[in-house]
């Protein structure tokens, strides 16, 4: 697909890469992507023209954040996708996989029990704002929506912060 035939809602800029988000939730990327921040795989490490980013589970992307060499995306279901330079844990992944470059977008499992509301990137860090997933009724009993088994403890040993507790 080509970007010039789409209505662009927002444009985001990283250090040497750019992302355009269309009004229909499609993502287009271009620039330098040697650490994987374009999300296009090892076959396309840079591009002078916008290229459609695929592999996002057919979900509409509603927000993005770009760091120096990493990218975060948020979809309509409140899931976080991450890709690019994995140093310093900025991809929000586990200790085991979080410190290597990720060349394609992946859903960050540590937030599956939360709805990601917003993400921000700095040069070598990320900030993710979340809310606990809404409850739903199952056989008349309120159950939390659980997209993946995950504990309240982070992969880095600390507890997840409850910054959105209602009074």
Per-residue pLDDT of the chain in tens (167 residues, 90 and over written 9):
699 999 999 999 999 999 999 999 999 999 999 999 999 999 999 999 999 999 888 889 999 999 999 999 999 999 999 999 999 889 998 765 557 899 999 999 888 889 999 999 999 999 999 999 876 555 555 555 544 433 333 343 333 444 444 43
* Count of helix runs (H) and strand runs (E) in the chain: 0, 12
54 vs 105: CA distance, rounded Å = 9
* Model pLDDT, residue 134: 75
CB atoms within 10 A of CB 95: 11
* Model pLDDT, residue 22: 96
* Model pLDDT, residue 35: 96
Alpha carbon distances (Å) from 113 to 6, 48, 102, 118, 128: 33, 38, 22, 15, 14
* Model pLDDT, residue 155: 41
Q: Which residues of 37-62 are buried (b: 16+ CB within 10 A; e: fewer)?
A: bbbbeeeeeebeebbebeebeeeebb
Alpha carbon distances (Å) from 123 to 12, 88, 162: 14, 11, 25
Is the pTM value of this prediction over 0.85? no
């Amino acid at each position: 697909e080509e970007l010039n035939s789409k209505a662009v809602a927002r444009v985001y800029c990283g250090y040497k890469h750019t992302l355009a988000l269309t009004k229909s939730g499609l993502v287009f990327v271009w620039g330098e992507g040697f650490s994987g921040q374009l999300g296009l795989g090892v076959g396309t490490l840079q591009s002078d023209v916008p290229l459609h980013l695929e592999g996002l589970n057919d979900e509409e992307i509603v927000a993005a954040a770009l760091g120096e060499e990493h990218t975060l995306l948020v979809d309509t279901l409140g899931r976080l996708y991450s890709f690019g330079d994995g140093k310093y844990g900025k991809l929000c992944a586990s200790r085991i996989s979080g410190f290597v470059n990720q060349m394609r977008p992946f859903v960050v499992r540590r937030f599956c029990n939360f709805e990601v509301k917003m993400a921000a990137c700095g040069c070598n860090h990320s900030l993710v704002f979340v809310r606990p997933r809404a409850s739903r009724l199952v056989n008349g009993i309120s159950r939390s929506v659980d997209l993946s088994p995950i504990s309240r403890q982070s992969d880095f040993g600390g507890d997840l912060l409850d910054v959105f507790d209602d009074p």
